[in-house]
């Protein structure tokens, strides 16, 4: 399972969905899905934009975790 750390990154930077959406061009709906770890698919362009915005690597934005039983 892959976990998205967008909520942690947004909290550390103290930004809102609208701030990230305006700066990256990613829809609020997609950001919400990533924030709440509900996204099934993510465009690589969006991943690149988020990594650039948060000045992080893909491994900091997403992480592989063991599936809960």
pLDDT, tens only, 33-49:
999 999 999 999 999 99
Q: What's the pLDDT score for residue 69?
A: 65
What pTM, to 2 d.p., does this model score? Answer: 0.89
Contacts of 63 by beta carbon, 8 Å cutoff, 6+ apart: 2, 3, 5
Those residues with Cβ within 8 angstroms of residue 33's Cβ, 6 or more apart along the chain or in another chain: 39
- Phi first, then psi, for residue 52 (nearest 5°) are -65, -45
With residues binned 3-state (H G I as helix, E B as strand, rest as coil), the percentages for the chain, rounded to 5, are 55, 10, 35
């Amino acid at each position: 399972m892959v976990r998205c750390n967008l909520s942690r990154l947004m909290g550390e930077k103290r930004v809102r969905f609208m701030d990230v959406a305006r700066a990256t061009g990613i829809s609020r709906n997609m950001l919400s899905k990533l924030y709440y770890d509900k996204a099934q698919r993510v465009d690589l362009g969006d991943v690149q934009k988020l990594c650039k915005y948060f000045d992080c690597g893909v491994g900091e934005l997403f992480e592989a975790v063991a599936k809960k039983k």
